[in-house]
Structure 1
Amino acid sequence: MRIKQYRTEFIKELSPFYDAYEAESFFYLILEDKHKLRQIDLALNHELSFVQTDFVVWDLILNQLKKEIPIQYLLGKTHFYGLEFEVNENVLIPRPETEELVEWIINENSKTDKTKKIKILDIGTGSGCIAISLAKNIPNAEVYAIDVSKKAIETAKRNAIRNNVEVTFILQDILKTDELKCNFDIIVSNPPYVRNLEKEEIKKNVLDYEPHLALFVEDNDALIFYRKIAELAKKNLSENGQLYFEINQYLGKEMTNLLEKLDFKKIELRKDIYNNDRMTKGVI
């Protein structure tokens, strides 16, 4: 069967679950991963065909997509800030909004004195996407990363090797941490921030397959991680040290108030590409 013909059938099969644009994007991701063919290759050669054995793999993936298992988990990888990361059921799939947070940190810290180390701590590292991207793009960065999940740490370590950077990974429950072991110039975190009351807004592919440990907090204390991390940052940020957060879009004002109460200065609240309050920064 010609690949172009199969593409039409593939998109039709997924139409009850995804819109045509998303289904087509899945098709080309799989095509490149499994056959090393890009969209342009198909456009230039309409005669490209699958052999019968190819359909075993494609049908398996198609059936899993119908269950709304994330395509990134099916392929075992995703891209973030120009780098490739292994992802699995133990870590969240990195989001474009988080790339914006990384961009913010890099832009403000990549032109510093290259002879002086910048010590960075990423709390709740998951796949390691923030820590590894910062290590890759800030030449004088000395990066540490914490996570409560042993399997997440193992995944992040493999991602550091994959991207040829050095990051010190630490298995640690930040909520049970009274003091960090050293001082840092930058602390960054994208902690769990989705309230249970917001579950109805979450797509099935996220709710059913991504780790709830990294997603959800109780409705009555939605800022539990932010409060704890900000308190630790007060003790363990160096002079003029920076604290960056990715935040719940509905809690921008509450986050600003939290940082103000803890006497952070130069507090900024930024919107993401979707015009939602998504990032905050405070300086000691």
Structure 2
Amino acid sequence: MLLKQYRTYFIQKLTPLYDAMEAESFFHIALEELKGWRRVDLALNPDAELSSSEIEKWNEVLHQLETQKPIQYIFGKAHFYGLEFEVSSNTLIPRPETEELVGWIIKENEFKGSIKALDIGTGSGCIAISLAKNLADAKVSAIDVSAEALAVAKRNSDTNKVGVTFILQDILAADALPQQYDVIVSNPPYVRELEKAEIKQNVLDYEPHLALFVADTDPLLFYRKIALLAKGNLKPNGKLYFEINQYLGPETVAMLEEMSFKNVVLKQDIYGNDRMVACGV
């Protein structure tokens, strides 16, 4: 079978589940992973054929996509802030909105020299590693409750050639943080159980619920605990940054102001949703 014919078949099989643009993007991701080709390579080789063994590999990817398994988990990698990260069922897939949070932190801290930063709930390590890669001389640490996630994060730090100190810790059980920091950042669990109906099936079925969901009765549980710890562990002029639930922006701001944080700023993401908060001590 010609590769261009398989492309048509691949996209047709997926369009009942995904829109045509997304299905085509999956094809090109698979093309690069399975054959090492970019779009232009297919255009330059219109008569390229797939062997029977290659078709088997493509069909396996197609089958997994039909079960709505995220393509990042199929190939075990995702891209974030210009870097490549290993991901697994123990880590969330990095989101573009989180890139915006990282960009905000870098913009505000890139000329401050040797800062100390802590990422709480690091998962794949995407926030911590991106900060270490882009903030010169920064000393970055990262905490997670999952040993499996930290193992992935450690491999990602090695792959991206940055030094990050990883700490296994249940932040809800912590009485204090390891040291004083200039920056504390967290993208903690914030999706309420009542919002599950809005979550795509591929997220519900494959991404770790431990990193996603929080009880409806106390949706700011992690924010309150982390803010409390930050009060005692942020340096003078230090800042706390959160990615937040888009439906709880005012509530998150009010909580931080009630805890006497200063200059609380609520920021929207590229989709116009309340998504980030920053504040100082």
TM-score between the two structures when normalised by the length of structure 1: 0.98
- The superposition leaves residues 186-233 of structure 1 with CA deviations (integer Å, 9 ceiling, x where unpaired) of 000000000000000000000010000000000010000000000000
In 2, Cα distance between the equivalents of 1:278 and 1:180? 25
Is it true that 1:35 corresponds to 2:32 in the alignment?
no
Report the counterpart of residue 222 of structure 2 in structure 1. 225
- Superimposed CA distance per residue, residues 46-73 of structure 1 (whole angstroms, 9 cap, x where no aligned partner): 1222112101111111111111011000
Aligned pairs for 1:1-284 (under 5 A) are: 1-112=1-112, 114=113, 117-284=114-281
- Distance (whole Å) between structure 1 residues aligned to residue 116 and residue 111 of structure 2: 15
Cα deviations across residues 3-37 of structure 1 (Å, max 9, x unaligned)? Answer: 11110000011122111111110000010011110
* C-alpha distance in 1 between matches for 2:5 and 2:103: 40
Partners of 1:23 and 1:7 lie apart in 2 by 10
Structure 1 counterpart of 2:76, one-letter code: G
Q: Residue deviations 1:119-163, cap 9 Å, x none?
A: 000000000000000000001210000000010000000000010
Q: Distance in 2 between matches of 1:220 and 1:169?
A: 31
Structure 1's unaligned 5+ residue stretches are: none
Q: How many residue pairs are counted as aligned between the two chains?
A: 281
The offset of 1:44, in angstroms, is 2.5
State the AA in 1 paired with 2:117: I
How far off is 1:283 after superposition? 0.6
Secondary structure of residue in 2 paired with 1:101: helix
- Equivalent position amino acid for 1:182 in 2: Q
SS at 2:30's partner residue?
helix
Contiguous gaps of at least 5 residues in structure 2: none
Distance, in Å, in 2 between the alignment partners of 1:109 and 1:180 is 21
Root-mean-square deviation (CA, aligned residues, Å) is 0.7
Q: Which consecutive aligned stretches of 4+ in structure 1 deviate over 3 angstroms post-superposition?
A: none
Distance in 2 (CA, whole Å) between partners of 1:222 and 1:46 is 53
